Amino acid sequence: MNLVWSGAFPIHTYEVDPCFRLAVPALLGFLMEAAGHNADALGFSIPQLAASNLTWMLSRLRVRLREHPGWRASLLVDTWPCGLNRLFALRDFRLCLEGRVIGEAASAWLLIDTIRRRPVRPENAADWSGMIHPERALTVDMDRLPPFPEPPGDGVRETELSVRYCDLDVNLHATSPRYAEWLQESLPTSLLASSVPAELDLDFQNEAGVGERILSRSAPLGGGSFAHSLVRLADGVEVARARTAWLPAVRP
């Protein structure tokens, strides 16, 4: 059985940013699509798990990029399940453009009991023998990210957002690319226009449902890095925290 799924993703006009580079939310959409295809081929996609009242939820994501493809390019994504770690099922990704590796990603997923809305150990729900490809595309710290700086210092920016029905996925909460979109909304427009993302570390901590108001906060950490926090305004619960690192864009 081939445990690695490979697929090409043509980059469309609606998937690029104002500088014609692949937008971060669109990239996350590619990763989620690749993960879904691979899981389906191996027999444990969300539709296949539904009969057992189980589903997957992304918990942690780490992305590293060295190049940023643009409109009409075709990004090749390889992905595979690479291990189990306590409650987490681990999955890696390799990103290739015209035959060269331009980035990697590592992710940790929770298998959720949809009735109790609680995680279950993956090995208790399925036989994983022969289902793990131990190669790692990205060796990186997957521990929980540190909290948002408190008290916030100079340069902190805040933006309020609403969760819309069109933001929801099959688990009836905001889909992961929307989180990446919300993080960027509190960054300076000047940064987004003049820089490219080199690193994204994202921890999903709680679900965000339709109609909820979310506060997006960003704080500079120095060296082109930012801390991020997404907080549900109704109860002050943090739904996600993240760190991004940006480099100056190379103009053609």
What fold is seen in the domain 144-252?
Thiol Ester Dehydrase; Chain A (3.10.129)
- Owner of token pair 């929801």: 168
- Owner of token pair 């992905």: 79
Residue 3 phi/psi, 5-degree rounding, is -90, -10
The reply to whether the predicted model has a pTM over 0.75 is: yes
Q: Indicate if 144-252 has the same CATH topology as 1-137.
A: yes
What one-letter code names the amino acid at 112?
Answer: I
Range 1-137: architecture per CATH: Roll (3.10)
Helix (H, G, I), strand (E, B) or coil at 191: helix
- Give residues with Cβ within 8 angstroms of 190, minimum separation 6: none
pLDDT in tens, 153-180: 788 999 999 999 999 999 999 999 999 9
pLDDT in tens, 199-226: 999 999 999 999 999 999 999 999 999 9
CB 107, CB 57: distance < 8 Å: no
pLDDT in tens, 56-115: 999 999 999 999 999 999 999 999 999 999 999 999 999 999 999 999 999 999 999 999
Bridge partners (DSSP) of residue 118 are: 113
Q: Which of 19, 5, 75, 74 is nearest to 191 (CA)?
A: 19
pLDDT of 236 > 70? The answer is yes
Distance CA 50, CA 34 (A): 19
Bridge partners (DSSP) of residue 105 are: 63, 93
